[in-house]
Amino acid sequence: MTPSLRTLVALGAAAVALTLVACDGNGDGTSTPTGTTPPSTTASSAAPTDAASPYLVYSPPPPPSGPITSGYLGSTLTLGVGNGRRLRLTFHSTAMNAVAAIENQPRRFSVWLTVENPNDAPWRGDLGPLAHVDDDFGGDVAADPSPAPGDFSTAAGRLGFSNRNLATPISIPSGASVDGVLLFQLYGGNRVVYITIDSPSGGEPIVWETNFGVF
């Protein structure tokens, strides 16, 4: 091989080597396909496994498995009355007379309820001694067992409620219900109150939270 031919061969080999180095994008003997990004060596930025997924359909929490014993206007609560029996009481509405609190006179507070007996046998009892209205200031007022006829709210008929006094003994046949009212004589101004009926068997009381005064 002549010197000029050897020179041409050497130059060709050098050109090939330079071409291979230029194509080696990673510099470590491996090449990256066109249009892709090398894998990151930093810590994974994937979302935690407990993050909310936008692809999961929302499902509300299951209802309580046991008797419901607290609620608000319109709630039906379950009161244990002993021997495995229960009553279901629904709180419908309230009313009060317009005597101003600054006159230091009580306001008659009517609470209309429905008492249902879902048991297989009739129930007879007296909710009066068990019923009271509490507040966050230490107030604890029992239901009036013998209100005067003029103490009952005249709005009952207009609203479709009954003024039967539930603070006296009542009898409810199996599967039947009784509508009536509990009347309380409350002092003080507008505030949150808790209408409470204790369990005659010593179980958990039922409590409705509501407002005494203008909503």
Which CATH number goes with the domain that contains 195? 2.60.40.1240
Q: Does residue 97 belong to any structural domain of this protein?
A: yes
Read off the pLDDT of residues 174-205 as tens digits, 9 standing for 90 and up.
Answer: 999 999 999 999 988 889 999 999 999 999 99
Q: Does residue 107 belong to any structural domain of this protein?
A: yes
- Total of domains in the chain: 1
Read off the pLDDT of residues 28-53 as tens digits, 9 standing for 90 and up.
Answer: 555 545 555 555 555 444 544 545 55
User: What does the pLDDT read at residue 190?
Assistant: 87
pLDDT greater than 50 at residue 146: yes
User: What does the pLDDT read at residue 105?
Assistant: 80
Report residue 165's pLDDT band, with 50, 70 and 90 as the boundaries.
very high
Q: Does residue 137 belong to any structural domain of this protein?
A: yes
Asked whether 77 and 208 are in contact (CB, 8 A), the reply is yes
pLDDT greater than 90 at residue 24: no
User: What does the pLDDT read at residue 104?
Assistant: 73
User: What does the pLDDT read at residue 18?
Assistant: 47
Q: Does residue 64 belong to any structural domain of this protein?
A: no
Q: Does residue 29 belong to any structural domain of this protein?
A: no
pLDDT greater than 90 at residue 126: yes
Report residue 10's pLDDT band, with 50, 70 and 90 as the boundaries.
low
Q: Does residue 174 belong to any structural domain of this protein?
A: yes
Q: Does residue 141 belong to any structural domain of this protein?
A: yes
Q: Does residue 177 belong to any structural domain of this protein?
A: yes
Asked whether 162 and 180 are in contact (CB, 8 A), the reply is yes
Report residue 97's pLDDT band, with 50, 70 and 90 as the boundaries.
confident
Q: What mean pLDDT, rounded, does the chain reach? A: 80
129 is in which domain, residue-wise?
Answer: 70-212
- Please tell me the distance from the alpha carbon of residue 129 to that of residue 151, in angstroms, as a whole number: 19
Residue 144: name the closest of 195, 88, 183 by CA.
183
pLDDT greater than 70 at residue 9: no
